[in-house]
């Protein structure tokens, strides 16, 4: 990248602010412009993969069942708002906000895969598509005649990404999977939650972390395959992503630990088994004592990191416990289970009359790394996220003003972007079927009358 004199003379901060200027995103080209993706995905795992590609500029077509769409539109808890309409056939129904995070920038086509005419439409789309994403049970699309084998016959350059629980072969092949099942079988729950001294219960991730992680890895695989196709082989690829395998990858060093020593990793709550102090403290006071929101009435929490010997000494001085620094002078003295069980309760005694903000302020003043644990409201209101474009209000063409999460990464010359949040079911039927299948208006009306679309 050539750097002009104006940029060369800037501070690094100003250089980054200028080169990544998020207000100029729409003035720049897109990395995957010209790549077409067909996404027959549902819930989060598959849709997330297609969403990441669409943020980078791919023309992504989401295919759902007619009228009601895919299940994720209807899985938002009952007490949350909906965005209307669900579809033009069901204007009195809405889409739950659980659909929000994994479907931006996509075109929406409705299609009933159970009907022969729909299979023919899928084959027409396959002939003009670079990437196909699906996460139905392994072998379902193959049985219907629209799987990887059939797609690669129609279009040898297509990249077909299947995502699911256990893979297309092996003992678990026919089982359905969800994020929580992947974490359970992949071993993640065995190391989350508290040790037996503190109740001993595992703790699930409230967010669907394995689905979004799996979507990111699948998008990574797709981009790698696009490079291999366009620069090396000229050929497509059949890709498989197993949610369970992805979950066990998160066990990091614990697999190696067991293989080398036979030690089985245990739950350790909000503390870190490899570093001390490096954990989350329970504070004694609420940041919002007058709030009517029950969540805000709860006491706060604050991350404190002081695992270096000099930082731990500062922390002990701050809480007026220099004796702890003498008792545990080195990290080796502190990191053991017995030492951590002794140290953290003393820190929480100090935090018992403070809010998370007060703990954070005093730690920072003492030169100790800290961070209050923010809730979704506090995250939504942080200037840092809005300034850098990872949170933004967009004027959605269908739903009006909505706050959305933007891409969490920046590219100087081909930045990712969110053009719209999502659309109603079948919103682009006419556009897609006329553009890619050559269907006339009367043909499209016939398909709709037969409830094929």
| Confidence tier at 167 by pLDDT (50, 70, 90) | confident
Of 80-84, 225-229, 346-350, which range is least confident?
Answer: 80-84
Mean pLDDT value of segment 132-160: 95
Q: Please give the residue that has the higher pLDDT: either 376 or 309.
A: 309
- The confidence score (pLDDT) of residue 3 equals 63
Give the pLDDT confidence score for residue 182 in this predicted structure: 81
CA–CA separation, 343 and 274 (whole Å):
15
Alpha carbon 37 to chain centroid distance? 19
Residue 154 pLDDT greater than 90, yes or no = yes
Q: How confident is the model at residue 12 (pLDDT cuts 50, 70, 90)?
A: very high
Q: What is the CATH number of domain 270-380?
A: 3.30.1540.10
Query: Average of pLDDT values for 164-191?
Result: 80
d(CA 444, CA 430): 7
Domain boundaries, the chain: 31-249+423-449, 270-380
Mapped to the 3 state alphabet, what secondary structure does the chain carry? Answer: CCCCHHHHCCCHHHHHHHHCCHHHHHHCCCCCCCCEEEEECCCCHHHHHHHHHHHCCCEEEEEECCCCCCHHHHCCCCCCCEECCCECCECCCCEEHHHHHHCCCCEEEECCCCCHHHHHHHHHHHHCCCEEEECCCCCHHHHHCCCHHHHHHHCCCCEEEEEECCCCCCCCCCCCCCHHHHHHHCCHHHHCCCCHHHCCCCCCCCCCHHHHHHHHHHHHHHHHHHHHHHHHHCCCEEEEEEHHHHHHHCCCHHHHHHHHHCCCCCCCCCCCCCCCCEEEEECCCCCCCCCCCHHHHCCCEEEEECCCHHHHHHHHHHCCCHHHHHHCCCHHHHCCHHHHHHHHHHHHHHHHHCCHHHHHHHHHHCCCEEEECCCHHHHHCCHHHHHCCCEEEEEECCCEEEEEECCCCCCCCCCCCCCCCCCCECCCHHHHHHHHHCCCHHHHHHHHHCCCC
Q: Residues of 241-257 as b/e, b for ≥16 C-beta within 10 angstroms?
A: bbbbbbbbebbeebeee
**Residue 165, pLDDT score:** 80
pLDDT band with cut points at 50, 70 and 90 for residue 360: very high
For the domain spanning 31-249+423-449, the CATH number is 3.40.50.10540
User: Residue 79's pLDDT is what?
Assistant: 61
What's the confidence (pLDDT) of residue 294? 86
Residue positions counted in the chain: 453
The pLDDT of residue 2 is: 58
**pLDDT > 90: percent of the chain:** 74
Is a pLDDT exceeding 80 seen at residue 304? yes
Contact 64, 108 (CB under 8 A): yes
Sign of CA dihedral 156, 159, 164, 166: positive
pLDDT average, residue stretch 186-212:
84
pLDDT greater at residue 5 or residue 362:
362
Q: By mean pLDDT, which of 126-130, 289-293, 364-368 is the weakest?
A: 289-293
pLDDT at 251: 84
Given the DSSP bridges, would you call strands 369-372 and 301-305 parallel, antiparallel or unpaired?
antiparallel
Predicted local distance difference test score (pLDDT) of residue 250: 84
Inform me whether the pLDDT recorded for 1 exceeds 60.
no
Of the listed ranges 148-152, 231-235, 248-252, 280-284, the least confidently predicted one is: 248-252
Per-residue pLDDT, 8: 82
pLDDT of 77 strictly over 70: no
Q: What pLDDT was estimated at residue 331?
A: 97
268 pLDDT higher than 70: yes
pLDDT of residue 225: 98
pLDDT at position 237 is: 97
Note the pLDDT tens digit of each residue in 92-119. 999 998 898 899 999 999 999 989 999 9
């Amino acid at each position: 990248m050539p750097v002009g004199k104006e940029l060369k003379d800037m501070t690094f901060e100003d250089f980054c602010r200028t080169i990544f200027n998020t207000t100029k995103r729409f003035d720049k080209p897109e990395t995957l412009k010209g790549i077409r993706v067909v996404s027959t995905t549902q819930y989060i795992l598959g849709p997330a993969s297609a969403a990441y590609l669409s943020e980078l500029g791919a023309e992504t077509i989401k295919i759902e069942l007619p009228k009601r769409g895919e299940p994720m539109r209807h899985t938002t808890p009952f007490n949350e708002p909906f965005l209307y309409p669900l579809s033009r056939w069901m204007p009195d129904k809405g889409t739950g906000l659980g659909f929000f995070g994994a479907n931006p920038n996509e075109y929406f086509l409705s299609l009933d895969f159970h009907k022969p005419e729909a299979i023919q439409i899928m084959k027409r789309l396959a002939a003009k598509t670079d990437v196909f994403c699906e996460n139905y049970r392994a072998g379902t699309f193959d049985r219907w005649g629209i799987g990887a084998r059939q797609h690669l016959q129609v279009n040898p350059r297509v990249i077909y990404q299947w995502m699911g629980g256990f893979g297309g072969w092996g003992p678990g092949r026919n089982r359905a999977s969800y994020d929580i099942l992947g974490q359970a079988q992949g071993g993640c729950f065995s190391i989350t939650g508290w040790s037996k001294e503190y109740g001993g219960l595992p703790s699930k991730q409230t967010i669907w972390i394995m689905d979004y992680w799996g979507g990111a890895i699948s998008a990574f695989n797709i981009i790698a395959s696009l490079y291999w196709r366009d620069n090396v082989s000229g050929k497509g690829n059949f890709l498989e992503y197993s949610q369970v395998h992805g979950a066990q990858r998160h066990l990091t060093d614990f697999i190696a630990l067991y293989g080398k020593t036979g030690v089985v990793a245990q739950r350790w709550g909000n503390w870190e088994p490899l570093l001390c102090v490096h954990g989350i403290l329970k504070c004694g006071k609420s940041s919002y004592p007058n709030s009517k929101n029950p969540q805000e009435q709860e006491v706060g929490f604050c991350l404190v990191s002081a695992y270096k010997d000099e930082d731990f000494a500062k922390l002990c001085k701050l809480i007026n416990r220099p004796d702890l620094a003498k008792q545990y002078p080195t990290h080796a003295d502190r990191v053991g289970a017995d030492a951590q069980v002794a140290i953290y309760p003393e820190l929480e005694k100090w935090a018992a009359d403070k809010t998370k903000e007060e703990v954070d302020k005093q730690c920072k003043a003492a030169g100790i790394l800290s961070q209050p644990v923010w809730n979704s409201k506090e995250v939504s209101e942080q200037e840092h996220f809005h300034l850098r474009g990872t949170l933004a209000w967009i004027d959605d063409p269908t739903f009006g003003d909505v706050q959305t999460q933007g891409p969490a990464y920046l590219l100087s010359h081909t930045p990712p972007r969110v053009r719209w949040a999502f659309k109603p079911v079948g919103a682009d039927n006419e556009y897609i079927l006329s553009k890619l299948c050559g269907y006339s208006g009367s043909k499209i009306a016939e398909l709709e009358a037969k409830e094929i679309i």
